[in-house]
Amino acid sequence: MKKANIDVYDAAGYVRLSKDDIDIDGDQKTESNSVSNQREIVREYIRSHPDLQLYDMYVDDGFSGKDFERPEFKRMMEDIKAGKVNAVICKDLSRFSRDTIEAGEYQKRVFPQEGVRFIAIGDHYDSLTATSVETNLVVPVKNMVNESYLSKTSDAIRQSQEVKMKAGAFIGSFVPYGYEKHQADKNLLVIDERTAPVVREIFEKKIDGMSMDGIAKLLNERGVLSPMAYKLDNGEKFQTGFKCSDTPLWSAKAIQRILSNEVYTGTLIQGKSSTVGYKTPKTKKNEDGSAFFIRVEGTHEAIICKNDFDCVQRLMKYEGRWKDGDQISIFNGVLFCADCNTPMIRRTYKNKSGDKHMYICKTKNLGKGCTRHAIEEEKLERIVLQALRVYVGGCLDYAKLIEKVRKYEISFDQISDYDQDLKRMREEYEVINADIAGFKSDFATGIITQKQFESYTNKYTKKSQEVLKRMEESEKLVKSIMTVGVASGTKLEDLRRTMKIEELDRRTLLSFVDSIWVYEEADVRIRIDFRFTDEIPKLEAMQKCCDDMEMQMKCENWEVITSA
């Protein structure tokens, strides 16, 4: 900047402090970058230079240096354009900006064009006296160093957050409805006794057959505060992209977000989205299975059991309408036409002997083809109840088996030796990896080309990963059965109680039945798909392991008696 005929400059003292200047663990850095310290440095500099006088201080506290979207910086630029300010003073270049390109734009074009003198005290830079080398080489290099610091800090923060998320720590600013942050540990979720009952009721109503719109209507009629209204009522500074009124009400969408949130089972899913880069606020969605999508089970106390949550996820696929006074069918969301895969609908026919309830194919009812697949509700309930008792009887036997496994302290490794599925997967995994090793040998001896080697290796590596994933899921299921029990933790007394029921109810049906399919051939027949069928082979392996263990114990006792 060429020296102007100005006796005294009207200076703007610019101060900035952001999250970039806070330690990753959350502790404040040294006082050198604090707002008060920056103010004092600027004031002291002005006092020691007679050609400067302070016009105003402009403080952006809590704003990043990655861009110039800062309220006080914008106010300063307005004063510059209005001719009120003709000098800008900051502690150092990093307080002005950490964006190399934008900083250079202001320092080389905007300020000279506006006749503004720029001073960075800590970097010993004054545009009034700076040489060409300082302006065109030294300052740009320092700007690049400052931006590099921002990049490194961003990476360090991301890595720190990833470590915390993998450890099961909650790092969000706002907790899910139904929870609150622990008073001593802000990374731990605890149940909010004021809102948790509402969450439980929402799940119960959905299981009972009520639609999401119906649940929202019910809560609004009772004056229950919606998640948004609850946050506002607690004085939280919460912003959302969803449109809302002054008094936000419950909506079907709000109900859906709660019903589909796995956090209520005690599982934390974080990293669903992340910023594209440290210089932009834009975010990208991370898919399940990606490095940033982190899912950790058992991080906090559950409000909803896993069984009920899984049940609701199935029901949400077949969301229907709910009206006042309508009787909700226990088969809603469970009964389907086996030929066109659409839900069956309930119809009531009146006759002299009373109302008769039937289920027919929805496609046929709409006149779009298929056939009626008609079946009486009373007959269907009788068949399902009978089949359910047989199935639960098997679960009851297996539940007793789990108690025996725990009694004998049988280990996972012992049981896995009897698991034929797991045994086959392990053998397949070894064969695939042996083939991959063979490809390396063939390539080294020139039997196959590099292109063939890369193609075969990629193909078989993918197969190996798929088998490994199936093995891990299979092992996880066995460990879950050993830890929680049969039928996803259904208690033994619950199984015994189910065996005694005389009339089928919706909660019992949904606890054990995944879907019911109605066929129409020479006669109507049904197929019941029970839940937890993938547990049966594992339980059979446990049974064989227990039988061998008992036989071994009997043989040992017989040897002791004989020798005596």
For residue 229, pLDDT over 70 is answered with yes
Highest mean pLDDT among 83-92, 354-363, 424-433, 534-543: 83-92
pLDDT at 263: 94
Residue 232 CA to residue 370 CA, distance in Å, equals: 52
pLDDT above 60 for 13: yes
What distance in Å separates the CA atoms of residue 75 and residue 254, rounded to the nearest whole number?
Answer: 39
Most confident of the following: 247-251, 311-315, 438-442: 438-442
Average pLDDT over residues 438-442: 91
Task: Identify the pLDDT of residue 438.
Answer: 92
pLDDT band at 127 (very low <50, low <70, confident <90, very high): very high
Lowest mean per-residue pLDDT among 19-33, 325-339, 501-515, 529-543:
19-33
- Residue 286: per-residue pLDDT: 67
Burial class of residue 310 (count of CB atoms within 10 Å of its CB; 0-12, 13-18, 19+): middle
Domain ranges of the chain: 9-159, 167-316, 391-548
User: What one-character DSSP code corresponds to residue 275?
Assistant: E
Average pLDDT over residues 25-47: 74
- Which of 31-40, 148-157, 209-218, 542-551 reaches the highest mean pLDDT? 209-218
The yes-or-no verdict on residue 104 having pLDDT over 60 is yes
Among 108-117, 476-485, 533-542, the range scoring the smallest mean pLDDT is 476-485
Highest averaged pLDDT of the listed ranges 18-22, 285-289, 375-379, 506-510: 375-379
User: pLDDT higher for 549 or 105?
Assistant: 105
Region 135-146: mean pLDDT is: 89
Residue 473 binned pLDDT confidence (cut-offs 50, 70, 90): confident
CA-to-CA separations, 48 to 3, 54, 126, 450, in angstroms, rounded: 19, 12, 14, 72
Two domains, one topology: 9-159 and 167-316 = no
**pLDDT for the residue numbered 210:** 84
DSSP 543: H
Average pLDDT score, the chain: 81
From 17, 323, 248, 26, select the one nearest 157 (Cα to Cα).
Answer: 26
| The pLDDT of residue 145 | 86
**What local confidence, expressed as pLDDT, does residue 225 receive?**
93
* CA 336 to each of CA 339, 381, 518: distance values in angstroms, whole numbers, following the listed order: 9, 15, 6
pLDDT at 516: 93
Q: If you search the block for the tokens 């078989």, which residue do you land on?
A: 460
Q: Which residues contact 243 (CB under 8 A, 6 or more apart)?
A: none
Report the distance separating Cα 445 and Cα 462, nearest Å. 24
Extract the tokens encoding 341: 């895969």
Tell me how far apart the alpha carbons of residues 191 and 200 are, in angstroms, rounded to a whole number.
12
Share of the chain above pLDDT 70, in %: 77
pTM score, whole prediction: 0.58
Q: What is the pLDDT of residue 262?
A: 93
Residue 535: CB atoms within 10 Å: 20
Alpha-carbon torsion (109, 112, 114, 117), positive or negative: positive
Residue 187 has pLDDT above 60, yes or no: yes
pLDDT for 28 equals: 43
Task: Check residue 258 and give its pLDDT.
Answer: 95
Residue 493 has pLDDT above 60, yes or no: no
**What is the reported pLDDT for 280?**
59
Of 19-23, 68-72, 314-318, 423-427, give the range with the top mean pLDDT. 68-72
**How does residue 489 score in pLDDT terms, banded at 50, 70 and 90?**
very low
Compute the distance between CA of residue 390 and CA of residue 546 in angstroms, rounded to an integer. 23
Averaged pLDDT for residues 207-235: 89
Fold category of 167-316 in CATH: Hect, E3 ligase catalytic domain fold (3.90.1750)
Quick one: pLDDT at residue 488?
Answer: 43
Q: How confident is the model at residue 410 (pLDDT cuts 50, 70, 90)?
A: low
Query: pLDDT per residue over 509-549, tens digit each?
Result: 888 888 999 998 767 789 998 877 666 676 667 777 777 77
Average pLDDT over residues 161-190: 89
Confidence band for 389, pLDDT divided at 50, 70 and 90: confident
Q: Is the CB of residue 179 less than 8 Å from the CB of residue 190?
A: yes
The confidence score (pLDDT) of residue 522 equals: 65
For residue 343, list its beta bridge partners.
336
Q: Note every long-range contact of 204-210, with CB atoms under 8 Å and residues 24 or more positions apart, other chains counting.
A: 206/255, 206/259, 206/312, 206/315, 206/316, 207/308, 207/311, 207/312, 207/315, 207/506, 207/507, 207/510, 208/328, 208/506, 208/507, 209/322, 209/328, 209/329, 209/330, 209/332, 209/333, 209/506, 210/322, 210/328
* CATH code at 9-159: 3.40.50.1390
- Residue that wins the pLDDT comparison between 25 and 113: 113
